[in-house]
Amino acid sequence: METEDKKEVTDNRPEWGGHRSGRIFGGLVVMVVGGLLLARQVGVDIPEWIFTWPSLLIVLGLYVGARHSFKSFGWLIPIAIGAFLLSKEHIDLDVWRYFWPAVIILIGIGIMFKPRRRFRHHRWNEERWKRKWERQYNYYHEGKPVEGDTIDSVSIFGGTKKNVISKDFKGGESVCMFGGLELNMSQADINGRVNLEVVQVFGGTKLVVPPHWKIQADELVTVFGSIEDKRHIQPGMVYDETKVLVLEGTCVFGGIEIRSF
């Protein structure tokens, strides 16, 4: 008598309780933008500067900050750039006179709120320094390991490379703005349906996944963007229906590339 071992597909969508308020505020930001566009179409007199690129940078900064509960300072970068460009164009003021003092003040604020680290004096040790530089090399060239079963990444005007090694990966969130993310999940494993939310604007995301994972991107919205599955599939191989990576989010002027080793 033949028996079939059928594994039930479970939903492993994590509970993002800490991000609930951020999601609500981020949604409100998008709704306000949509409302302004609608008001403009029906003839409401709205200042032109609201629909400029500097204003878009400010909105994107608020959106990213809200989605992550304003826990880091990365969202301040596009807001500062947008505010600088707006003030330069619409305010009769020599902005450059105040630029570097403002930068110094921001650096001081960053130093004040930076987590304390304990530094100890060490004598010169060749092996210790060798291990240190090897770790730094691996960090920048092989990627930073992701701790835990979820990922929460923000890349603004820069690149991020991370390795997921969890055998029970539960997905997470990634935001790329004028930057890129390379997420290596070739050594990871998932059980059931796992959701990975990707929000990228003028950026790119590269996902390295096992070839037998099934990828679903029906909930991913692309605007002047694309998603490409470039995995090398061996003849006769089928996707594992019990390992489904669901991509959702928004891709604007960017691309998502899926590969496998």
Kindly report, residue by residue over 126-157, the tens digit of the pLDDT: 555 445 444 444 444 445 556 678 888 887 77
pTM for the predicted model, two decimal places? 0.53
Q: How confident is the model at residue 245 (pLDDT cuts 50, 70, 90)?
A: very high
CB atoms within 10 A of CB 139: 12
Q: How confident is the model at residue 212 (pLDDT cuts 50, 70, 90)?
A: confident
Q: How far apart are CA 182 and CA 161, in angstroms?
A: 5
Strands (E) across the chain are located at 144-146, 151-156, 159-164, 172-177, 180-184, 192-201, 204-208, 213-223, 226-229, 240-252, 255-259
Q: How confident is the model at residue 203 (pLDDT cuts 50, 70, 90)?
A: confident
Find out whether 205 and 183 touch, Cβ atoms under 8 Å.
Answer: yes
Q: Which ranges of 19-95 would DSSP assign to H, the alpha helix?
A: 20-41, 53-67, 76-90
What is residue 200's predicted lDDT score, i.e. its pLDDT?
Answer: 80
Q: How far apart are CA 154 and CA 63, in angstroms?
A: 12
Residue ranges covered by each domain of the chain: 17-113, 143-259
Check pLDDT > 50 for residue 6: no
Please give the helix or strand (H or E) that residue 100 lies within, else none: helix 96-113
Average pLDDT, the chain: 73
Instruction: Tell me what the mean pLDDT of segment 195-213 comes to.
Output: 87
Q: How far apart are CA 28 and CA 11, in angstroms?
A: 27
Q: How confident is the model at residue 79 (pLDDT cuts 50, 70, 90)?
A: confident
Find out whether 60 and 79 touch, Cβ atoms under 8 Å.
Answer: no
Lowest average pLDDT, out of 83-87, 97-101, 167-171, goes to 97-101
Check pLDDT > 70 for residue 73: no
Tell me: the pLDDT tens digits for 8-43? 444 444 444 444 555 566 667 678 778 888 888 888
Check pLDDT > 70 for residue 249: yes
Provide Rg for the chain, Cα atoms.
Answer: 22
Instruction: Tell me what the mean pLDDT of segment 51-79 comes to.
Output: 74
Tell me: the pLDDT tens digits for 95-122? 667 767 776 776 666 656 554 444 344 4
Q: How far apart are CA 20 and CA 119, in angstroms?
A: 36
User: How far is residue 134 from each of residues 49, 117, 131, measured CA to CA in Å?
Assistant: 49, 21, 5
Q: Give me the helix-helix angle, 76-90 and 53-67, nearest 10°.
A: 160
Longest dimension (CA), the chain: 86
Find out whether 162 and 138 touch, Cβ atoms under 8 Å.
Answer: no
Percent with pLDDT over 70 in the chain: 66
What is residue 152's predicted lDDT score, i.e. its pLDDT?
Answer: 83
Q: How far apart are CA 167 and CA 5, in angstroms?
A: 21
Q: Is 162 exposed, middle or buried (0-12, 13-18, 19+ CB in 10 A)?
A: middle
Q: How confident is the model at residue 7 (pLDDT cuts 50, 70, 90)?
A: very low
Q: Is 120 exposed, middle or buried (0-12, 13-18, 19+ CB in 10 A)?
A: exposed
What is residue 80's predicted lDDT score, i.e. its pLDDT?
Answer: 79
